[in-house]
Amino acid sequence: MPLHTVAPQRLYRQIAEQLRQLMASGEFALGSRLPAERDLAMQLGVSRPSVREALIALEVEGMIEVRTGSGIYVQHIEPPSKPSSTSETDANTPGDWGPLEVMSARLLIEAEVAALAATHAQKADLKAIKVGLQQMKLEAARDEVPREGDEAFHEAIAKACGNSVLLDTVQRFWQARNGPLFERLGNYFEHPESWQAAIGEHEQVLLAIQSHNASAARKAMQKHLKQAHKRYSASWRRAPAR
């Protein structure tokens, strides 16, 4: 019998698989409410962000239903007959990256990217960053998620930093940002108030880069990404009903 390559599995996928098994065994019956996110994290010995990523993956598969203000309920006790978009994704591609894990990585990397951009940005770079911010404002004014402008803003900063490897890294972050897990998470925790908060944070990043103040740019980007992580980590009960 030939051996097969053993692919590493991301932590949130391992958590999701445990929950699937518990559903299939009847431990979590059809229609029952799952333990709170905090309790699941304690029982599994993992972080709450990892549990949240697992729950989002299960919801994308249609196995659970998140009812804001009420809880998380078992919708199906068997995995779908056809692989979901999340299970089809190659484990090495950005689409498989956990959203909150991506946010943590962005905090480390994009803060330094912003500092480099403050040092190296030329007039054309500053114009591109401003265009991205303006696009965000226009999208928000149309009551649209300002995603395209957000991506354009961060990519323009990465281009301004003068390092092609860092640019590629930031672009891969956005490939993950456009994946199904991020999209579903955004459905719960992105809303007009959060958009306006993010736009204000972006303005501070732009001001620091325009001033060629590397330290201020680093701090402004750190503040923005910490706040973004906090928004995505908020209690389910605080998520607006869909």
Question: From first to last of its 242 residues, what are the pLDDT tens digits of the chain?
Answer: 454 444 456 889 899 999 999 998 888 999 999 999 899 999 989 888 889 999 999 999 899 998 877 889 999 887 655 544 444 445 567 778 888 889 999 999 999 999 999 999 999 999 999 999 999 999 999 999 999 999 999 999 999 999 999 999 999 999 998 888 888 888 888 899 999 999 999 999 999 999 999 999 999 999 999 999 998 887 665 555 54
The answer on 116 and 173 residing in a single domain is yes
> How far is Cα 19 from Cα 33, in angstroms, rounded to an integer?
12
End-to-end CA distance of the chain: 50
Instruction: Indicate the angle between helix axes 147-160 and 164-177, nearest 10 degrees.
Output: 170
Domain encompassing residue 197: 98-238
The answer on 139 and 192 residing in a single domain is yes
The answer on 106 and 63 residing in a single domain is no
**Paired tokens of 9:** 């599995």
pLDDT for the residue 4: 44
Q: Are 73 and 33 in contact (CB under 8 A)?
A: yes
Cα four-point dihedral sign 158, 163, 167, 173: negative
The answer on 67 and 116 residing in a single domain is no
Closest by CA to 188, choosing from 37, 34, 21, is: 37
Q: Residue 71: beta bridge partners?
A: 67
The answer on 76 and 110 residing in a single domain is no
pLDDT for the residue 140: 96
pLDDT for the residue 5: 44
pTM: 0.82
pLDDT for the residue 87: 44
